[in-house]
Amino acid sequence: MQSLQGQIGTISIVKEESKTWTIREESAYTGATTVNAGTLIVNGNSLAASAGAVTVAAGATLGGSGDIGGAATITGNHHAGSTVGTAGSDFVGKQDFVGDLTYNGAVGAPASVTWDLISNANTGAGTNFDQFTVAGSLDFSTTTNLVLNFDATGSAVDWTNTSWSTDQSWVVYSSTSAIQNAGNLNLVNQNWLDSNGGTFNALRGPDNSSFALDISNPNQVVLNFTAVPEPSTYALMGLGLAAFGWFARRRRGKAAAHTDNEA
């Protein structure tokens, strides 16, 4: 892994090799950044003051937990987290874009965003789940795939946890201005694994629980989880309805008997 740090100055960086580069918090340069291969991780506020554009080519990846000042265009992959591809909570991160963020995948090769969740809760942006905030313009200009990941090493996600018996939601994107072409963001449905290797289809699928994107707020992309009551809940509901029916029939019977007595 290559690491860039210190006051670098006014230069432009073009990354061509397949290795991972990390720009650390104390780094500072003001030129453009082009990632043609491998992974570039931007941590802290290393590029917060830079007006240089950030371009990520098809097959390359932008990661990190920090601020990016220049306009970013991602044709390849986007995966928050201070050490993308390693274990533990470092999978999870929060990226703040001071400028614009545009996803611009190629025909037949859409841009891809990986979103991680490592807890059973819907709190803790940047520590329990990924989040992206954009102060400029956010535009999904072409089809962009959102891939959900729940089984990173160190994750505590467990589909049998009671948290998954209730509805939950997470703000994935938040933008100061109205999001453009939000309908181009496509949730990739799959048989997600939890931290124990349990599959979503086996443990949550039978009750028709599901994930879905909500773009009704023009400034947010929200991931919703809709839970369906457990079979035991349905049984209790059935008993309640049966009891209600029994009391109703009994009341009608008493009313009829009272009428007969009066006659």
The predicted-structure confidence for 56-76, as pLDDT tens digits, reads as follows 999 999 998 888 888 999 999
Mean pLDDT of 26-47: 80
Among the residue ranges 93-97, 217-221, 255-259, the one predicted with the least confidence is 255-259
Mean pLDDT of 76-85: 82
Same domain? 27 vs 66 = yes
Q: What percent of the chain has pLDDT over 90?
A: 58
Same domain? 136 vs 263 = no
Same domain? 121 vs 190 = yes
Would you state the pLDDT for residue 207? 79
Q: How far apart are CA 121 and CA 225, in angstroms?
A: 11
Mean pLDDT of 45-52: 64
Confidence of residue 193 (pLDDT cuts 50, 70, 90): very high
Give Cα 123 distance to the centre of its chain.
12
More confident of the two residues 257 and 62: 62
The pLDDT of residue 130 is above 80: yes
Same domain? 206 vs 253 = no
- Arithmetic mean of pLDDT over the chain: 84
Same domain? 247 vs 127 = no
Which position has the token pair 């009551």?
A: 229
Q: Indicate the number of domains in the chain.
A: 2
Q: Is the dihedral of CA 54, 59, 60, 62 positive or negative?
A: positive
The pLDDT of residue 26 is above 80: no
Same domain? 152 vs 135 = yes
More confident of the two residues 241 and 214: 214
Would you state the pLDDT for residue 171? 98
Q: How far apart are CA 250 and CA 218, in angstroms?
A: 53
Q: What is the value of pTM for the model shown?
A: 0.82
Would you state the pLDDT for residue 237? 43
Same domain? 172 vs 260 = no
The domain in which residue 157 lies consists of: 2-228
Same domain? 217 vs 260 = no
DSSP type of residue 123: -
Same domain? 86 vs 13 = yes
Same domain? 67 vs 170 = yes
Q: Find out whether 220 and 131 touch, Cβ atoms under 8 Å.
A: no
Strands 20-23 and 28-29: unpaired
The pLDDT of residue 86 is above 80: no
Confidence of residue 87 (pLDDT cuts 50, 70, 90): very low
The pLDDT of residue 180 is above 90: yes
Same domain? 116 vs 239 = no
Residue 130 dihedral angles phi and psi, to the nearest 5°: -75, 150
Among the residue ranges 84-93, 189-198, 237-246, the one predicted with the least confidence is 237-246
Same domain? 195 vs 84 = yes
The pLDDT of residue 234 is above 50: no
Q: Find out whether 66 and 132 touch, Cβ atoms under 8 Å.
A: no
